[in-house]
Chains A and B, each alone.
Chain A
Amino acid sequence: MCSCGEPRRGWRRCTPSPMLLLSLLLSTAPFGFLGEETRQVSLEVPGWPDSPQNLLHIQAVGTNSTLHYVWSTLGPPAVVLVATNTSHSVLHINWTRLLSPEPEGGLTVLPMESVQFSSALIFTRLLEFDGVSEATAKPPGKPYPSYSLAEFSWNNITNSLHPDTLSATFQGHPKDDPTGAFANGSLAFRVQAFARSGRPARPPRLLHTADTCQLEVTLVGASPRGNRSLFGIEVATLGRGPDCGRIQEQHSIDDEYAPAVFQLDQLLLGSVPSGFVQWRPVAFSQEQAGRASALSCQASPLHPTLAHSLPQSPVVQAFFGLQQNYCTFSLTFGASTGPGYWDQRYLSWSMLLGVGPPPVDALSPLILGIMAVALGTPGLVLLGGGLVLLLRRKHSSEYQSIN
């Protein structure tokens, strides 16, 4: 929660004054949000004979704008997000191009001049570290060879498509698994879109709007290579300029929705109008996500990476053409002490992806209500009682003077 006018600044730089707090108590802070309140959201899995069904198109239509999210596991899991300024824009897929070795131009949003903003995220690798050897290597420890997510085989998402909850799940395991680590395990990417703003019931309960999509990454049942293996994930975004920008860490006072997590990390994609990726630095080691199973989540700084050192995503290439520059960062979950993946072979982490300014948390009405009552009542009683006493004294002194 940040009560300054500008939503993108961290708490450290804008600690509120008591006066500001008072005004907060009197009126809930308005959302500094420019997007549309509600959108008509539809999920479709466009098909092509003989092609695997692993492309999900989420279309969110507003009164005068449309957002397209194209999630796909052709190659590594990736998403292309496109914002247009008309409610009539459509996604056009040239399947022969898209499935060919040179997919440039296979994915277009028409009319082309309506595109206001576009960006992409690619989830390139699943990382594993030997958490125990922290003494010799710096945290998170000595890395094991990573799993390339381009070398995974992914399920057919039509089966996991839930139009009522606007969600779908990509589930995969390595094509080639000589050690049998994923014999009983899988990595899942659950994607959910929203028609209006709200907050899911499951921690970390990120505030979402109609302009956003939530991704929940879950690793279940895979055998770790060490006793106390820490897992991580590598994420790549399109490089826009010579430098990659950085992940903003916002500190807040409000942990009502994610107990004991006072930080919100976000990465802005591109300049204004921009997109964003937002997450709380917390992951969970049990399906019952709560404070007992909360793991910390460390993000590495963004660093520029050339295309040839990353697994390539056909959908990203199809929309953006051949790109040379990417920015990558990695997230690691947990520490060698405390709860971890090894407890139940379960790990889940979620993030929000969207267009426009990131949603900003405000103090909940319940907290504001309690504060108003808690501070108001003693004040009122003091005022009322003081007045009564004053009147009585005046009265009695008049009485005495007559006497």
Chain B
Amino acid sequence: SYFCYDNPAALQSQVQRDMKVNTTKFMLLYAWYSWPNVVLCFLGGFLIDRVFGIRWGAIIFTCFVCVGQVIFALGGIFNAFWLMELGRFVFGIGGESLAVAQNTYAVSWFKGKELNLVFGLQLSMARIGSTVNMNLMGWLYSKIEASLGSAGPTTLGVTLLLGGMTCILSLCCAFALAYLDQRAERILHKDQGKTGEVIKLTDIKDFSLPLWLIFIICVCYYVVVFPFIGLGKVFFIEKFGFSSQTASAVNSVVYVISAPMSPLFGLLVDKTGKNIIWVLCAVTTTLVSHMMLAFTAWNPWIAMCLLGLAYSLLACALWPMVAFLVPEHQLGTAYGFMQSIQNLGLAIISIIAGMILDTRGYLFLEVFFIGCVSLALLSVVLLYLVNHARGGNLNYSTRQREEMKLSHTE
């Protein structure tokens, strides 16, 4: 599914040319993916726990992903942009919830063992999927264009349909997993996996100021990474004169880097603690990298590599902080809410980014992104100050944390 998430980015110029749409409309493809997830992040866990069970949950969500991708591709074949949007919507329904199901499988199989490593590896696999997509789809399109003899909506549709084959593969895996899980249950008398996330909307009013600051950081930070990558390819072609292939490669380098670096940074943050400082580093690095992209003609490889490192570091340092702030029974709500508003932010900013690009160009878009990052930076600084003033535990080093734990148990 991650392979198909960034299908539009990999084929941006082809989509815009064949479907005759401007960038604003193109970015709607991403927005439509995000809309259902604003709600579903709350419900995904619930549906898996109470309604479908994990095996059927995974299978059903994978079906959504497949159907969505097929509708998306048909939209291309029939030259109907609204159908493509519908496809992305259905795809979105399946996409994020499938991630929840994956996590649940991981928890149920690896609980108390190498869970962090498994999560790291999962993220790596997802990023590898995105990377392969970025570099493969353009090539696939040109092959199909050659064999059909002309470029057009049909070519686009067929390309997307072939890309959708990977979704069928996902579906097979979901069935296989369900079978294996059932067998494991029979043999080992193990419980079916539960997400353990009971989400109560009323918990939101109990969220503290630092938690809200973390949410702001999360939204402001992710919107400068994903929508930017969605629009990045053409930027590298136009501004830096890169070929289509090289532009795809630069654009995907963020994912390439985050694949191996996520587990490493996870380990680093685990060993040292001091989460706020790491987040501060990540946000500052991102700011620098966007400044480089906006105001210099330096080779974008430098800026994109920095962005990749910063992105991996942030993911490792930001998300665990929530766990220090929220009592365990509210953890589900907090994470669900965080993902929801992240998706909401992505949906809105995707549309705004497309509009800015069409009317004011890439420089202004970059300045807008710099504004978002600096809002994130402002929140980090505030978080640090508030945490410091209240004597909070977010910025403890690991040793301090262990001392705390000991003093608690004593």
B78 lies within 8 A of chain A by Cβ: no
| A175-233, CB < 8 A from B | none
Which residues of chain A are within 8 angstroms of B370 by Cβ–Cβ distance?
Answer: 370-371, 374
Bound Cα distance A371, B370 (Å) = 8
In the complex, the answer to whether B358 meets A259 with C-beta atoms within 8 Å is yes
Which residues of chain B are within 8 angstroms of A392 by Cβ–Cβ distance?
Answer: 389
Most interface-central of A16, A255, A261 (chain B CB within 10 A): A255
Which residues of chain B are within 8 angstroms of A378 by Cβ–Cβ distance?
Answer: 374, 377-378, 381
Bound Cα distance A11, B240 (Å) = 12
In the complex, the answer to whether A256 meets B381 with C-beta atoms within 8 Å is no
- Which one of B16, B235, B297, B363 contacts A256 once the chains associate, using CB atoms below 8 Å? B363
A246 lies within 8 A of chain B by Cβ: no
Given known contacts A367-B367, A370-B367, A260 and B238 CB-to-CB distance under 8 angstroms? yes
| A224-271, CB < 8 A from B | 251, 253-262
Which residues of chain A are within 8 angstroms of B22 by Cβ–Cβ distance?
Answer: 290-292
Name the distance in Å between B75's Cβ and chain A's nearest Cβ: 19
Name the distance in Å between A102's Cβ and chain B's nearest Cβ: 49
Q: Which residue on chain B has the smallest CB distance to residue A3? A: B295
In the complex, the answer to whether A255 meets B362 with C-beta atoms within 8 Å is yes
B294 lies within 8 A of chain A by Cβ: yes
| A259-288, CB < 8 A from B | 259-262
Which residues of chain A are within 8 angstroms of B358 by Cβ–Cβ distance?
Answer: 259, 290-292
Given known contacts A371-B367, A371-B370, A255 and B361 CB-to-CB distance under 8 angstroms? yes
Q: Which residue on chain B has the smallest CB distance to residue A259? A: B361
Bound Cα distance A347, B252 (Å) = 36
A339 lies within 8 A of chain B by Cβ: yes
Given known contacts A16-B296, A259-B358, A290-B358, A367 and B238 CB-to-CB distance under 8 angstroms? no
Q: Which residue on chain A has the smallest CB distance to residue B239? A: A262
Which residues of chain B are within 8 angstroms of A12 by Cβ–Cβ distance?
Answer: 297
In the complex, the answer to whether A261 meets B382 with C-beta atoms within 8 Å is no
In the complex, the answer to whether A389 meets B23 with C-beta atoms within 8 Å is no
B271 lies within 8 A of chain A by Cβ: no
Chain A window 328-366, contacts with chain B (Cβ cutoff 8 Å), 1 for yes, 0 for no: 000000000111000000000000000000000000000
In the complex, the answer to whether A375 meets B374 with C-beta atoms within 8 Å is yes
A402 lies within 8 A of chain B by Cβ: no
Name the distance in Å between A4's Cβ and chain B's nearest Cβ: 13
A403 lies within 8 A of chain B by Cβ: no
| B280-302, CB < 8 A from A | 291, 294-298
In the complex, the answer to whether B359 meets A259 with C-beta atoms within 8 Å is yes
Which residues of chain A are within 8 angstroms of B382 by Cβ–Cβ distance?
Answer: 381, 385
Chain B window 360-392, contacts with chain A (Cβ cutoff 8 Å), 1 for yes, 0 for no: 111110011011011101100110110011000
Most interface-central of A15, A261, A367 (chain B CB within 10 A): A367
Q: Which residue on chain A has the smallest CB distance to residue B292? A: A18
Chain B window 231-256, contacts with chain A (Cβ cutoff 8 Å), 1 for yes, 0 for no: 00011001100000000000000000
In the complex, the answer to whether B363 meets A367 with C-beta atoms within 8 Å is yes
In the complex, the answer to whether B20 meets A21 with C-beta atoms within 8 Å is no
Chain A window 373-402, contacts with chain B (Cβ cutoff 8 Å), 1 for yes, 0 for no: 111011001100110110010000000000
Contacts between chains A and B (CB distance < 8 A), count: 100
In the complex, the answer to whether A256 meets B364 with C-beta atoms within 8 Å is yes
Q: Which residue on chain B has the smallest CB distance to residue A363? A: B363
In the complex, the answer to whether B297 meets A253 with C-beta atoms within 8 Å is yes
B357 lies within 8 A of chain A by Cβ: yes
Q: Which residue on chain A has the smallest CB distance to residue B362? A: A255
Name the distance in Å between B11's Cβ and chain A's nearest Cβ: 14
Which residues of chain B are within 8 angstroms of A388 by Cβ–Cβ distance?
Answer: 385
| B8-46, CB < 8 A from A | 16-17, 20-23
In the complex, the answer to whether A254 meets B297 with C-beta atoms within 8 Å is no
Which residues of chain A are within 8 angstroms of B375 by Cβ–Cβ distance?
Answer: 374
Given known contacts A262-B239, A377-B374, A253 and B296 CB-to-CB distance under 8 angstroms? yes
Which residues of chain A are within 8 angstroms of B363 by Cβ–Cβ distance?
Answer: 253-256, 367
Which residues of chain B are within 8 angstroms of A262 by Cβ–Cβ distance?
Answer: 238-239, 362
B277 lies within 8 A of chain A by Cβ: no
Name the distance in Å between A344's Cβ and chain B's nearest Cβ: 12
B151 lies within 8 A of chain A by Cβ: yes
Bound Cα distance A290, B357 (Å) = 11
Which residues of chain A are within 8 angstroms of B357 by Cβ–Cβ distance?
Answer: 259-260, 291
In the complex, the answer to whether A385 meets B295 with C-beta atoms within 8 Å is no
Most interface-central of B21, B23, B362, B375 (chain A CB within 10 A): B362
In the complex, the answer to whether A385 meets B385 with C-beta atoms within 8 Å is yes
- Which one of B238, B377, B388 contacts A389 once the chains associate, using CB atoms below 8 Å? B388
Q: Which residue on chain B has the smallest CB distance to residue A251? A: B297
Bound Cα distance A378, B378 (Å) = 5
In the complex, the answer to whether B362 meets A381 with C-beta atoms within 8 Å is no
Bound Cα distance A256, B363 (Å) = 6
Bound Cα distance A192, B120 (Å) = 62
Bound Cα distance A370, B44 (Å) = 39
Name the distance in Å between B273's Cβ and chain A's nearest Cβ: 20
Given known contacts A371-B367, A378-B381, A389-B385, A260 and B361 CB-to-CB distance under 8 angstroms? yes
Bound Cα distance A97, B384 (Å) = 83
Q: Which residue on chain B has the smallest CB distance to residue A262? A: B239
In the complex, the answer to whether A389 meets B389 with C-beta atoms within 8 Å is yes
Bound Cα distance A382, B383 (Å) = 11
- Which one of B294, B378, B389 contacts A381 once the chains associate, using CB atoms below 8 Å? B378
Which residues of chain B are within 8 angstroms of A337 by Cβ–Cβ distance?
Answer: 17, 151
Which residues of chain A are within 8 angstroms of B385 by Cβ–Cβ distance?
Answer: 381, 385-386, 388-389
Which residues of chain B are within 8 angstroms of A259 by Cβ–Cβ distance?
Answer: 357-362
Name the distance in Å between A380's Cβ and chain B's nearest Cβ: 10
In the complex, the answer to whether B298 meets A15 with C-beta atoms within 8 Å is yes
Which residues of chain B are within 8 angstroms of A255 by Cβ–Cβ distance?
Answer: 238-239, 361-363
Chain A window 78-103, contacts with chain B (Cβ cutoff 8 Å), 1 for yes, 0 for no: 00000000000000000000000000
Name the distance in Å between B238's Cβ and chain A's nearest Cβ: 5
| B140-191, CB < 8 A from A | 151
Name the distance in Å between A262's Cβ and chain B's nearest Cβ: 5
Most interface-central of B16, B17, B361, B378 (chain A CB within 10 A): B361
Bound Cα distance A389, B298 (Å) = 39
Which residues of chain B are within 8 angstroms of A338 by Cβ–Cβ distance?
Answer: 17
Name the distance in Å between B235's Cβ and chain A's nearest Cβ: 8
Q: List 5 A-B contacts (CB under 8 A).
A: A253-B297, A259-B359, A370-B367, A370-B368, A386-B385
Closest 4 CB pairs of A and B: A259-B361, A255-B361, A374-B374, A385-B385
A contact residues vs B (CB 8 Å cutoff): 11-12, 15-16, 21, 251, 253-262, 290-292, 337-339, 367, 370-371, 373-375, 377-378, 381-382, 385-386, 388-389, 392
Known A21-B291, A256-B361; further 16 A-B contacts with Cβ < 8 A: A15-B298, A255-B239, A259-B360, A259-B361, A260-B234, A262-B238, A337-B17, A339-B17, A371-B367, A373-B371, A374-B370, A377-B374, A377-B378, A381-B382, A382-B381, A389-B389
